[in-house]
Amino acid sequence: MAYNFEFYAPTKVIFGKGAENETGKLIKAFGASRVLVVYGGGSVKRSGLLEKIEASLSTEKIVFRELGGVVPNPRLDKVYEGIRMGKERGTDFLLAVGGGSVIDSAKAIAYGLAEPEHDVWELFAHTRTARKCLPVASVLTIAAAGSETSRGCVITNEHTGEKRAYDDNLARPRFAVMNPEYTITLPDYQTESGCVDIMMHTMERYFTNGGNMEITDALAEGLLRTVMKNAVKPHHNPGDYDARAEIMWAGSLAHNDLTGCGNDGGDFMSHKLEHELGGMFDVTHRAGLAAIWPSWARYVCNECLSRFVRYARNVMGIAAEGSDEEIAEAGIRGMEEFYHSIGMPVNLEELGIHPTDRQIEEMAERCMAACGSHTGSAKKLAKDDMIRIYTNARNSK
Ligand code: NZQ
Ligand code: ZN
């Protein structure tokens, strides 16, 4: 039965060729006057995108400052640097030019500037909730995290090794500029692993034991099939605009909550388990998800069997007859084969990490602490379950 739901997706999307030229006008329409432009390690300089965005701001006579140097698994110290800079300059709008790490850093800076009397990390440590957040927008350069339309924000405290999420509608971006042409400079690994994150955001909402709607399932299954079909195309033809457009739009729809309407809020334990891998080993979020999912899926499968069968049939195209358990296993194997076909790992060994028993226990402890009351939907996990999933993931073949 469909559960009651609220769907809130306020981000204005400007999609397609030349969309970046609208940025200055959009910011002006939102009434901003002093903008902090946040970016990463330099890809937006090399592609010429940053220069274009800044020209668009200058045309509208918008004062801006730059903060570069955000790294993947974005760090708390960079957020503090942004907050200091924003305070000095009277920043009233955050513009992220880049991917999820840059957007999340901009969101965290926006929280910090809106309530400067508090330490922003308290949000990620879940010791308080935010009451305010400055407006944030993005010019997206990689389809993956979905932060351009999501309420999520994920920051790593490099001093404690904790990678933590804070979710709040206050940080939903005001607008997202998406020109798929700017993803052409992405290395294949980034494009393909981005597809894993997009699929995982959909699958986290799909494998649930509460509240299902035919329309939501159909959207989710269509999204998954579309991403699988297009994920490999840029490798053969980097300039395939249509494939890049499909992937980019899927990235936003996968994480703006559309594919969760009517269910119980989703499982999200693959993400929670992965965040501990990111905090301890600094692995790429999306590759970490591919490496943990098969172990998670096999561990919870029997408690969410009808969903795994449906997924095997409707997403992986498994036509063979057999018991529900066999069909579900065929669906999981199908996903492993797909991940391999795009160069993704399906266990921790392939991910290139070898956690010890002690490290696994520590990750499980931290994961339990980070989860609070929500420890899954396909199956509610306890610490021992998490230990089993990490242990089985060492080499799940
Ligand atoms: O730093 P630069 O030089 O820009 O290089 C980046 C970075 O090295 C590169 N890149 C991005 N666009 C490019 C490009 N290189 C060439 N051409 C381009 N057009 O790609 C690398 C990865 O960028 P990053 O922003 O880290 O990727 P992604 O979008 O996957 O973001 C990952 C972060 O988002 C978090 C993850 O945990 C991770 O920290 N997530 C955020 C979510 C949210 N806010 O809702 C949800 C997700 O589940 C996820 O947890
Ligand atoms: Zn993700």
85: burial class by Cβ within 10 Å (0-12, 13-18, 19+)? middle
- The residue to mutate among 75, 78, 147, having the most atoms of ligand 1 within 8 angstroms of its beta carbon, is 147
* Token pair belonging to 5: 């739901």
d(CA 95, CA 92): 10
Pocket of ligand 1 (CB under 6 A): 40-44, 72-74, 98-102, 104, 141-142, 144-147, 150, 152-154, 182-183, 185-186, 190, 194, 197, 255, 271, 285-286
Residue with the smallest CA separation from ligand 1 atom 14 is 186
Tell which residue, 121, 104, 109, has the closest CA to residue 85.
109
Ligand closest to CA 289: 2
- Predicted pLDDT at 396: 59
- Predicted pLDDT at 397: 55
Residue with the smallest CA separation from ligand 1 atom 18 is 186
Q: Which atom of ligand 1 is nearest to the CA of 143?
A: 29
d(CA 77, CA 95): 19
**CA 332, 338, 341, 347 torsion-angle sign:** negative
- The residue to mutate among 142, 151, 205, 256, having the most atoms of ligand 1 within 8 angstroms of its beta carbon, is 142
**Alpha-carbon distance values, 43 to 40, 46, 49, 188 (Å):** 7, 5, 9, 15
Q: Which atom of ligand 1 is nearest to the CA of 146?
A: 45
- Predicted pLDDT at 360: 98
Strands (DSSP E) contained in 68-167 are 93-98, 136-140, 154-157, 162-165
* Token pair belonging to 341: 């076909």
Find the DSSP H helices in 120-187: 121-124
* Token pair belonging to 363: 């990750």
Ligand closest to CA 152: 1
- Predicted pLDDT at 395: 83
How would you write the pLDDT of the chain (397 residues) with one tens digit per residue?
A: 899 999 999 999 999 999 999 999 999 999 998 999 999 999 999 999 999 999 999 999 999 999 999 999 999 999 999 999 999 999 999 999 999 999 999 999 999 999 999 999 999 999 999 999 999 999 999 999 999 999 999 999 999 999 999 999 999 999 999 999 999 999 999 999 999 999 999 999 999 999 889 999 999 999 999 999 999 999 999 999 999 999 999 999 999 999 999 999 899 999 999 999 999 999 999 999 999 999 999 999 999 999 999 999 999 999 999 999 999 999 999 999 999 999 999 999 999 999 999 999 999 999 999 998 899 999 999 999 999 999 999 985 5
Q: Which residues surround ligand 2, an ion (CB under 5 A)?
A: 197
Find the 134 Cα to ligand 1 centroid distance in Å: 21
Q: Which atom of ligand 1 is nearest to the CA of 40?
A: 1
- The residue to mutate among 190, 244, 276, having the most atoms of ligand 1 within 8 angstroms of its beta carbon, is 190
